Amino acid sequence: MEIVSVQQMRQLESLSEKAGLTSQILINNAGKQIGENLLCQIGQSKKILLFLIGPGNNGYDGLLAAQYLRNMKLSTIQIYTYACTDPKLLSYNITVSKESPFSDSIFTDPKLSNLKKLIQVSDIVIDSILGIGISRPIQNPIKKILIELNKEKHARDSLKIIAVDVPTGLDSNRGTVDENCPFADITLSLGNPKIGLFELPGMNHIGKLSVLDIGFPKNIQVNSQIKMLTAKKITPYLPRRTSMSHKGSSGRVLIIGGSRNFIGAAYFAAASAYKVGAGLVTIATPRSLVYPLSIKIPEATFIPLQESNDGAISSNNLDLIAPQVSKYDSLVIGCGIGQDPQTQIFLSKLLTNINTLPKLIIDADGLNWLSSMNIKKRISTIKKLNTPILTPHQGEMKRLIDLSMQLDLPPRIALVKKLSQEWNATFVLKGPYTLVGSKDGSVYINPVATPSLATAGSGDILSGMIGGLIAQNLNSQAASLTSVFIHGSAGIELTETIGEIGAISSDLLNIIPSTIQKLRQQF
């Protein structure tokens, strides 16, 4: 699914109209889809819904959804609508009903006293005020209305806010937000999701994202290089085995990781490579860690490395590793290795002196090793590594581009697209709505933001998964996309079964195989 700018959304609408779908048909479809989505969420419970109706198409979508629900004549739902402008000035026809569809409006309620009461008694407020066309700071009276909505949300967290297309005040291209932009619990994106929903700070305001089909013809596209990652996209890449498979035919992964203070990182990377189907996983780690790791993961083989006084990989291990590297299909490096100066010397020797490296995944302190170089040398080193896969979280990305930790990243999508092309690398920018950028200029966005993945070891698991799939003959993009999607899907399951708090990486690790099986059964 394409993720689009405002201009591209207008283009989709124009192309659809040429194909025979008028704007009125699309708006009617949107209203019905919003109404049906709300019905699914409400179920049989008694709810009071308040629709905040703005002056343009976004308001029209909300009004049609409210009318759709009214026509259902459900005794469990009470519906109120409030016009955020003078109803006489609305750009759509409101004379379809003999009685006004609005319970009130700013025109008849300039002090907002009725609005305050409506918000206070409502269970759900539908933000259908302003959509993708916002181009300037929000002014009164809409500003006043948003202030009242935010005030009630702050006082009563149980109040649910559902945004139509985008929360009012969110810039659909850049992801910037007005100071009074509400924090939606759910955003119902119409047709195609907008780029700004996945940029900071905008993505903090959208809550759970649902994309509603409003009827765009399937053959109409705008050739956006930014796409939403879907189960259908990654299903062909899911690992499979035949009755004739053996460990040698399922790929070999080498993990170089671990140090005295970070034993678990190497374990999680190795175990997750096995969980996605790798046949043989070897851990190259400080000698003193081999025994505890072998107890934790007896399936792995080991290359014991000489270590520094602090229990990290020492600088004089190249002769131990160099003859072994070419035996493997993928190399995951950085998980738990720490930032000991001796370890950094070892990395420099290994990654700049060996010409026969397998496909490389660099994570954690491997990325910090790159960041320790001046920017010119850093880029040169990355380009020489033959399209490595780099898996930074936001802080590691800041270090990679020499940005102060106190500053915000520039727009994520454009940044990942630019670096992937210029540095000849695959980037996996981890976090809510993880991005995967490839050297062809494409950027895929995983539509998952779940707190279950915000736990120590989660990133090590993702790196190991990528290494495990690379070893099974997937290319860099396919392995990264598939791993990110499986990882996110498993995270969602943890949130649903354990809750937002309390899930740990061991829980995540254990459900990877069943998550793969469930995804395979969808198609």
Residue located via tokens 């080193």: 381
CA torsion 155-159-163-168 (nearest 10°) is -20
**pLDDT bucket at 185, cuts 50 / 70 / 90:** very high
DSSP state of 269: H
- Average pLDDT for residues 143-147, to the nearest whole number? 96
- Please report, for the domain that includes residue 292, its CATH number: 3.40.1190.20
pLDDT band at 447 (very low <50, low <70, confident <90, very high): very high
Distance of CA 296 to the CA centre of its chain: 31
79 and 152 share a domain? yes
Nearest to 193 by CA among 176, 179, 220, 214: 214
Residue 316 in tokens: 């004089």
* Most confidently modeled range among 99-108, 165-174, 232-241, 344-353: 165-174
Please check whether residues 70 and 193 belong to one and the same domain. yes
pLDDT band, very low/low/confident/very high, at 315 (cuts 50, 70, 90) = very high
pLDDT category of residue 354 using cuts at 50, 70 and 90:
confident
Output DSSP code: residue 245. -
pLDDT of residue 249: 79
Both 257 and 216 in one domain: the answer is: no
Separation of alpha carbons 351 and 380, rounded Å? 12
pLDDT band at 406 (very low <50, low <70, confident <90, very high): very high
Residue 1 falls inside a structural domain = no
Would residue 242 count as lying in a domain?
Answer: no
pLDDT at 335 exceeding the cut of 90: yes
- Report H helices in 43-189: 57-72, 113-121, 142-155
**Residue 464 domain-assigned (yes or no):** yes
At residue 364, what is the residue type?
Answer: A
H or E stretch covering 97? none
The CA-to-CA distance between both ends of the chain, in Å, stands at 17
What mean pLDDT do residues 168-175 have? 96
Range of the structural domain that residue 434 is part of: 232-236+251-521
pLDDT in tens, 259-310: 999 999 999 999 999 999 999 999 999 999 999 999 999 999 999 999 999 9
Q: Are 180 and 138 in contact (CB under 8 A)?
A: yes
Residue 381 lies in a domain: yes
Q: Are residues 260 and 326 in the same domain?
A: yes
- Can you spell out the DSSP letters for 21-84? --HHHHHHHHHHHHHHHHHHHHTTS-EEEEEEE-SSHHHHHHHHHHHHHHHHT-TTEEEEEEES
**Residue 177 domain-assigned?**
yes
pLDDT at 91 > cutoff 80: no
Mean pLDDT of 69-81: 89
Do residues 65 and 167 share a domain?
yes
> In 3-state terms, what secondary structure has residue 365?
helix
Which pLDDT score is estimated for 100?
58
Please state whether 387 falls in left (phi above 0), alpha (psi between -120 and 50) or beta. left
- State pTM to two decimals: 0.95
Query: Residue 356: pLDDT band by 50, 70, 90 thresholds?
Result: confident
421 and 288 in one domain? yes
Task: With a cut of 90, say whether residue 453 has pLDDT above it.
Answer: yes
Rg (CA), the chain: 26
In the predicted structure, residue 232 carries a pLDDT above the cut 60: yes
235-239 long-range contacts, Cβ below 8 Å, gap at least 24?
A: 235/519, 235/520, 235/522, 235/523, 237/469, 237/474, 237/478, 237/479, 237/481, 237/482, 238/482, 238/516, 238/519, 238/520, 239/276, 239/277, 239/468, 239/469, 239/472, 239/516
- List b or e across 49-78, with b for residues whose CB sees 16 or more CB atoms inside 10 angstroms: bbbbbbbbbbbbbbbbbbbbbeeeeeeebe
Q: Are residues 186 and 122 in the same domain?
A: yes
What is the rounded CA–CA span in Å between residue 462 and residue 105?
51
State the pLDDT at residue 396: 97
What pLDDT is recorded for position 94? 52
Q: Please tell me the least confidently modeled range out of 225-229, 348-352, 455-459, 507-511.
A: 348-352
Q: Taking residues 485-504, what's their average pLDDT?
A: 95
- Whether 284 and 385 map to the same domain: the answer is yes
* Residue 243 maps to a domain: no
Quote the pLDDT of residue 243.
77
Judged by DSSP in three states, 128 sits in: strand
User: 331, 360 in Cβ contact below 8 A?
Assistant: yes
**Domain identity same for 135 and 255:** no
> Is 486 inside any structural domain?
yes
Percent of the chain with pLDDT over 90: 87
Q: Both tokens of residue 482?
A: 């598939």
**DSSP class per residue in 315-334:** S--HHHHHHHHTT-SEEEE-
CA distance 71 to 189: 23
Does 179 share its domain with 280? no
pLDDT surpasses 70 at 98:
no
| Residue type for position 500 | E
72 pLDDT band, cuts 50/70/90, is confident
User: Distance between CA atoms of 405 and 419, rounded to whole angstroms?
Assistant: 19
Question: Residue 426 pairs with which residues in a beta bridge?
Answer: 389
Dist CA 361 CA 355 (whole Å): 16
What is the pLDDT confidence band of residue 43, given thresholds at 50, 70 and 90?
A: confident
Residues 151 and 277 in one domain: no
Q: Are 305 and 259 members of one domain?
A: yes
Considering its fold, how many domains does the chain have in total?
Answer: 2
**Closest by Cα among 498, 521, 501, 500 to 510:** 498
Instruction: Flag whether 484 is in a domain.
Output: yes
